[in-house]
Amino acid sequence: MSGHLVVVNFKTYETAHGVSAEELALIMSNIETEARLIAVVSAFDLSSVVSIAPDLEVWTQHLDPIQFGSNTGWLHPETAVERGAKGTLINHAEHKISIEKIAMLLDQVPEDFIVCACAADIEEARALTAVGPTYVAVEPPELIGGDISVTTADPNIITGTADAVREISDKVGILCGAGIKNGNDVAMAIKLGTSGVLLASGVTKSDNPKLALENLISQI
């Protein structure tokens, strides 16, 4: 296995929730590749996606560093683990939390549970790296969901993030995202120093997600 990650965030797109989430997960699980395909699903869809695609690595979209008890509406990490999540995104541009809460979450989850912390810029990536997540994913918010890849619009933020992370830790992996739509974008992200990519609409909004995924992994 190449070890390069292609992380697909299902968000709450109409084409990637409920039954559609299960269908997309099945497509992902049936693609032959040396890359590491990961589905990041809503907490509502976690159990069903894990059940229907048991060979696919599945993360949940967010967790809260809470203990068992009176926490209505919050997402307990242990429940996610019990329901089959292998990891989580945290601090996405669409769901920001404090560094302190990320540190609390890291203290709470099992050692082999993957935490991918999202950063808007190099300085935030540096701060996140200091608390020791599994991965830091840099995503300029203004490019998320757009048609221009971060690898084209702002390659310096990728190389700068890679350098900043490596100054602090050689254990934290580096991902990038925002606007990534094809195999060229993925190949460039890896060339610029990442372990892979974080994407969403390039797959979830595609008329043919299987073809889109095959294109994305074509140069890995």
The catalytically annotated residue of 62, 139, 167, 214 is 139
**Each residue of 51-73: pLDDT tens digit?**
999 999 999 999 999 999 999 99
Q: What is the pTM of this model?
A: 0.95
User: In Å, what is the CA distance from 109 to each residue of 36, 37, 97?
Assistant: 22, 22, 17
For the chain, the domains span: 5-216
Backbone angles phi, psi at 40, to 5 degrees: -115, 110
Catalytic (active site) residue 123: no
The catalytically annotated residue of 4, 62, 76, 92 is 92
CATH number of 5-216: 3.20.20.70
pLDDT along the chain (220 residues), means of 10: 85 97 97 95 98 98 97 98 98 97 98 97 97 96 85 92 96 94 92 94 94 93
Catalytic (active site) residue 92: yes
